[in-house]
Amino acid sequence: MLNDAPTPPQETRERILEAAVNVFASKGYHDTKVDDIVAESQTSKGSFYFYFPSKQDIFLALVDTFADLLESRLRARVQAETSGVARVDLALRVCLETFGQYRGLAKIALVQATGLGHVFEEKRRSVNDRFIAFIKKNLDEAVTEGGISALDTDVAACAWMGALNEIVLRWVYTGQPDPVRALPSLRRLLLQSVGIPEEKIREYEEKS
């Protein structure tokens, strides 16, 4: 007997999201139509609108999907490290590795969400703020532990996030430099910026 069981709802939603990544990444927000996503996902308009009231809603859901994915990876990987300095070093590596693996999502979250209006800008800013807060927390811990000298961790965290964004934006637009290839130089620059000693930086480089 043939299996006529319907596709599980969560699987349908994921299929629509994956299709939306491909379509948005190739066509951009304005040129993408709901019909394009429906065709790519091989679902139906009814299925699309059951999960997402509009094109804007699925786009914002993708930004959240990427932010949640990156944050969960960061928390899972850095919790094993015992010092704030080691955690910020590892967090930098995890960020660039994740951007490298999910270029389509990175393009949507960091590039296409810019300049689309207030709602999109607020979403993009809230994602940035989440990761600035994560960096700041670990820099604060590094200061408390004596791993780095006292500094304005608000400014340092914003500067780190800005450097990460610039590397990823350039890669999304031009294909170069690959985030993994950029890691050694970016890591050295950022660790030096908060006063990590040269011998400690070499330790992290050898562990990579």
pLDDT at site 114: 67
Buried b (16+ CB within 10 A) or exposed e, 17-53: bbbbbebbbeeebeebebebbbebbebeeebbeebbe
How many structural domains are present in the chain?
2
pLDDT at site 1: 35
For residue 191, being part of any structural domain is answered with yes
175: which residues sit within 8 A by CB, 6+ positions away? none
- Pair 147, 158: CB distance under 8 Å: no
Q: Using DSSP, state whether 54 is helix, strand or coil.
A: coil
For residue 46, being part of any structural domain is answered with yes
In the block, residue with structure tokens 């944050």 = 71
d(CA 186, CA 92): 9
Report the CATH number at residue 35. 1.10.10.60
pLDDT at site 7: 55
Tell whether 174 and 110 lie within a shared domain: yes
CA dihedral of residues 46, 48, 54, 56 (deg, nearest 10)? -170
Report the CATH number at residue 201. 1.10.357.10
pLDDT at site 182: 87
Domain that holds residue 17: 8-53
d(CA 25, CA 96): 19
Tell whether 142 and 177 lie within a shared domain: yes
Tell whether 123 and 146 lie within a shared domain: yes
pLDDT in tens, the chain (208 residues): 334 444 566 789 999 999 999 999 888 888 999 999 999 999 999 999 999 999 999 998 988 888 888 889 888 888 888 788 888 888 888 888 888 888 888 888 777 766 677 888 888 788 889 889 988 998 999 899 888 889 999 999 999 999 988 888 888 888 888 888 888 889 889 989 988 888 888 877 777 6
Tell whether 102 and 20 lie within a shared domain: no
Q: What is the C-alpha radius of gyration for the chain, rounded to an integer number of angstroms?
A: 20
Tell whether 69 and 152 lie within a shared domain: yes
d(CA 122, CA 120): 5
Residue among 183, 63, 74 nearest 125 (CA)? 63
Tell whether 49 and 147 lie within a shared domain: no
For residue 156, being part of any structural domain is answered with yes
Tell whether 13 and 88 lie within a shared domain: no
d(CA 145, CA 165): 28
206: which residues sit within 8 A by CB, 6+ positions away? none
Tell whether 20 and 116 lie within a shared domain: no
Tell whether 27 and 94 lie within a shared domain: no
Tell whether 173 and 80 lie within a shared domain: yes
95: which residues sit within 8 A by CB, 6+ positions away? 70, 74, 131, 164
The reported pTM is 0.78
Tell whether 110 and 184 lie within a shared domain: yes
Tell whether 133 and 82 lie within a shared domain: yes
Cis omega (within 30 of 0) for bond into 8:
no
For residue 36, being part of any structural domain is answered with yes
For residue 59, being part of any structural domain is answered with no
